[in-house]
Chain A
Amino acid sequence: MTSTVDPTTDEGVGESELGRARRRKEDEHLITGRTRWTDNIVLPGMLHAAILRSPVAHARITGLDVSEARGKPGVVAVYTGADLAEEQGSLPCAWPITEDMKTPNAPALAVDTVRFAGEAVAVVVARSPYEAHDALDSIDVDYEDLPVVLDLETAARDGDLVHPDLGTNVSATWVFDSAEAGSGGDVEDAIRDAEVIVERTFRQQRLIPAFMEPRSVVVDPTASQITMWSATQVPHVLKLMLAMTLGLPEHKLRVIAPDVGGGFGGKLQVTPEEVLTLLIARRLHKPVKYTETRSESMLAAHHGRDQVQKLTLAARRDGTVTGLKVELLADMGAYLRLVTPGVPILGAFMFNGIYKFGSYRFACTNVFTNKVPTDAYRGAGRPEATFAIERIMDELAVELSMDPLELREKNWIEHEEFPFDTVAGLTYDSGNYEAATAKARELFDYDELRREQAERRERNDPVQLGLGVSTFTEMCGLAPSRVLGSLSYGAGGWEHAAIRMLPTGKVEVVTGSSAHGQGHETAWSQIVADRLGIPFDDIEILHGDTQSSPRGLDTYGSRSLAVGGIAVVKAAEKVVAKARPIAAHLLECSEDDLDFEAGQFRVKGTAKSVGLTDVALAVFAAHDLPDGVEPNLDSEATYDPDNFSFPHGTHLCAIEVDTETGHARIRKYVCVDDVGHVVNPLIVEGQVHGGLAQGIAQALYEEAVHDESGTLLSSSFAEYLLPTAVDLPPFVTDRTDTPAPGNPLGVKGVGEAGTIASTPAVVNAVLDAVRPFGVTDVEMPCTPMRIWHALRDARGGTK
Chain B
Amino acid sequence: MRITVTVDGTQYTDDVEPRLLLVHYLRDRLGKVGTVVGCDTSNCGACTVLLDDRSVKSCSVLAVQADGHSVTTVEGLAENGNLHPVQEAFREKHALQCGFCTPGMIMATIDLLSENSDPSDEDVRHGLEGNLCRCTGYQNIVAAARDAAQRLRENPAATEEAAR
A residues apposed to B, CB below 8 Å: 7-8, 23-24, 26-28, 30-35, 37, 39-40, 42, 130, 210-214, 259-262, 264, 293-295, 516-519, 682-683, 685-687, 689-694, 716-718, 722, 724-726, 728, 730-731, 754
A24-B91, A722-B132 known; A212-B98 Cβ under 8 A: yes
The reply to whether A212 and B91 contact each other, CB–CB distance below 8 Å, is no
The reply to whether B91 and A31 contact each other, CB–CB distance below 8 Å, is yes
- Closest chain B residue to A294, Cβ basis: B39
Residue among B20, B75, B121, B134 with most chain A CB within 10 A? B134
* Secondary structure class of chain A's binding surface, majority of residues: loop
- Closest chain B residue to A295, Cβ basis: B40
Residue among A7, A518, A691 with most chain B CB within 10 A? A7
The reply to whether A31 and B90 contact each other, CB–CB distance below 8 Å, is yes
Interface size class of B (residues with CB under 8 A): 35 or more
Q: Does B163 contact A (CB under 8 A)?
A: no
A32-B34, A716-B41, A730-B139 known; A262-B83 Cβ under 8 A: no
Tell me the residues in window 66-115 of chain B with beta carbons closer than 8 Å to chain A beta carbons: 73-75, 77-78, 83, 87, 90-94, 96-103, 106
Taken together as a complex, chains A and B put the C-alpha atoms of A683 and B93 apart, in Å, by: 10
- Closest chain A residue to B35, Cβ basis: A33
Looking at the complex, which one of A8, A42, A261 makes contact with B100 (CB distance below 8 Å)?
A261
* Secondary structure class of chain B's binding surface, majority of residues: loop
Given contacts A31-B103, A725-B133, 10 further A-B contacts (CB under 8 A): A23-B94, A30-B96, A31-B74, A31-B83, A32-B83, A37-B100, A42-B31, A261-B100, A690-B135, A717-B41
Looking at the complex, which one of B37, B41, B83, B129 makes contact with A724 (CB distance below 8 Å)?
B129
**Distance in Å from the Cβ of B56 to the closest Cβ of chain A?**
17
Looking at the complex, which one of B33, B35, B134 makes contact with A212 (CB distance below 8 Å)?
B134
The reply to whether A211 and B134 contact each other, CB–CB distance below 8 Å, is yes
Q: Inside 8 A of B35's CB, which chain A residues have their CB?
A: 33
Q: Does B128 contact A (CB under 8 A)?
A: yes
Taken together as a complex, chains A and B put the C-alpha atoms of A718 and B140 apart, in Å, by: 25
- Closest chain B residue to A695, Cβ basis: B137
**Distance in Å from the Cβ of B129 to the closest Cβ of chain A?**
5
The reply to whether A725 and B138 contact each other, CB–CB distance below 8 Å, is yes
Taken together as a complex, chains A and B put the C-alpha atoms of A725 and B121 apart, in Å, by: 10
Q: Inside 8 A of B132's CB, which chain A residues have their CB?
A: 212, 717, 722, 724
Tell me the residues in window 135-158 of chain B with beta carbons closer than 8 Å to chain A beta carbons: 135-143, 147
Q: Inside 8 A of B137's CB, which chain A residues have their CB?
A: 689-693, 728, 731, 754
A37-B36, A726-B129 known; A261-B141 Cβ under 8 A: no
Taken together as a complex, chains A and B put the C-alpha atoms of A744 and B136 apart, in Å, by: 29
Taken together as a complex, chains A and B put the C-alpha atoms of A686 and B33 apart, in Å, by: 26
- Closest chain B residue to A519, Cβ basis: B97
Q: Inside 8 A of B83's CB, which chain A residues have their CB?
A: 31-32
Taken together as a complex, chains A and B put the C-alpha atoms of A23 and B140 apart, in Å, by: 13
Q: Inside 8 A of B106's CB, which chain A residues have their CB?
A: 31
**Distance in Å from the Cβ of A733 to the closest Cβ of chain B?**
9
The reply to whether B87 and A31 contact each other, CB–CB distance below 8 Å, is yes
The reply to whether A731 and B96 contact each other, CB–CB distance below 8 Å, is no
A294-B39, A716-B43 known; A33-B98 Cβ under 8 A: no
Which 7 residue pairs across A and B have the least CB separation, nearest first?
A33-B34, A261-B100, A517-B98, A30-B99, A689-B137, A717-B43, A693-B137
- Closest chain A residue to B103, Cβ basis: A33
The reply to whether A683 and B141 contact each other, CB–CB distance below 8 Å, is no
Residue among A32, A33, A39, A213 with most chain B CB within 10 A? A33
Looking at the complex, which one of B27, B87, B129 makes contact with A725 (CB distance below 8 Å)?
B129
Looking at the complex, which one of B32, B91, B141 makes contact with A23 (CB distance below 8 Å)?
B91
Q: Does B46 contact A (CB under 8 A)?
A: yes
A7-B93, A33-B34, A35-B34 known; A27-B99 Cβ under 8 A: yes
Q: Inside 8 A of B125's CB, which chain A residues have their CB?
A: 724-726
Taken together as a complex, chains A and B put the C-alpha atoms of A42 and B103 apart, in Å, by: 20
Residue among A32, A210, A686, A730 with most chain B CB within 10 A? A32
Taken together as a complex, chains A and B put the C-alpha atoms of A423 and B1 apart, in Å, by: 71
**Distance in Å from the Cβ of A418 to the closest Cβ of chain B?**
30
The reply to whether A262 and B135 contact each other, CB–CB distance below 8 Å, is yes
Taken together as a complex, chains A and B put the C-alpha atoms of A40 and B36 apart, in Å, by: 9
Taken together as a complex, chains A and B put the C-alpha atoms of A725 and B133 apart, in Å, by: 8
Q: Inside 8 A of B31's CB, which chain A residues have their CB?
A: 42
The reply to whether A214 and B38 contact each other, CB–CB distance below 8 Å, is yes
Q: Inside 8 A of B98's CB, which chain A residues have their CB?
A: 211-213, 259-262, 516-517
**Distance in Å from the Cβ of A126 to the closest Cβ of chain B?**
14
